[in-house]
Chain A
Amino acid sequence: MSISDYLLATLSVYGVPMLFVALVIGCVGVPLPSSLLLLAAGSFVEQGELNLWLVLGLSAVGSVLGDNVGYAIGRWGGPRLTDRLTKLVGGETKIKETEEWLRRRGSSGIFLSRWLLTPLGPIVNLIAGATKYRWRRFFLFDLIGEALWVVLYVLLGKIFSDRVQALYDLLGNLTWAMFSLVFAVAFGVLLFKHLRSL
């Protein structure tokens, strides 16, 4: 049985508390199929097994909490973690550039990585913390983005309550297509700049 099957089976037995814990852990960065859990929770709501408002409320709180744990790890995780993140981003100067980029466009990056480019979420949290991005601003855009993600996926699961697995496959592929496209465009622009300087 796959991890998804195991988590979904646990969700139908333990309900909303299990969903809350899984979302906190998933948003910190442990790779869990959080979107599938939200879709399934929507389907269980439609079948009368879970309460809609409880699902929406605790899911939003859980995911925001997980993101803030990620932010805190990035901010106060110690010099070793900061070093690793610095290397990951590309050195001291790159950290400064990322800091600058976050200051200018960070809000949209935080917002989009909550619900559209979800695989980027945990790393954005860490980088926002490590670059000391203003917490209040982080929290605001995190809250808006996560609320949108939770409402979108739970309602989709509720509307298409008989096709959760198929819907997850469709949305999962769409998310990875968008994620790859963002990188393809970024590398394309970089390549174009390099070729022009030849």
Chain B
Amino acid sequence: MTKLGWRRWLILVAFLLAASFAALFAVRTVRHALYWTHHRDEAIRPWMSVGYVARSYHVPPPVLYRAIDLDAVTRDRRPLREIALQQNRPVEAVITDLQRAIADFRAHPEQFPPPQPKEPKVP
């Protein structure tokens, strides 16, 4: 200890710490890159809009709008958190409904016809 001196020991500890962090984050980067290549589904988060979830899960947006009782024709850019607040229920409940709708759609895509456009008003 005395031969190296406290300053050198400090540098050694700092070096080992930095090297360990570099190795840790390198491993995490590789793990995320592998995850990326397999493209497993992202977890649905409160910040996401219905449109984003639909895009991420490759599900037609109207399927998801209908699942949480929203108008399936007009686009709603609000985050799920806002929708849950307006529907007076926890955001987790909204996320569960979306997950169920995604699973149903993937199991039986033929059962989800595209929404009919609104009829033009007859003068």
Contacts and interface: CB of A to CB of B under 8 A. Distances in A.
Interface in A154-198: 161-167, 169-170, 173-174, 176-177, 180-181, 183-184, 186-188, 190-191, 194-195, 198
Interface residues of B, number: 40
B77 A5 contact: no
A7 B7 CA distance: 43
B45 A180 contact: no
Contacts of A167: 36
A56 to B, nearest CB: 20
B15 A165 contact: no
B18 A163 contact: no
A111 B56 CA distance: 34
Contacts of A165: 42-43, 45
Interface residues of A, number: 39
Chain A at the B interface: mostly helix, strand, loop or mixed? helix
A12 B22 contact: no
Interface string A2-21: 00111111011100000000
B14 A8 contact: no
Contacts of B35: 166, 170
A183 B39 contact: no
B81 A163 contact: no
Interface of A: 1, 4-9, 11-13, 40, 43, 47, 49, 161-167, 169-170, 173-174, 176-177, 180-181, 183-184, 186-188, 190-191, 194-195, 198
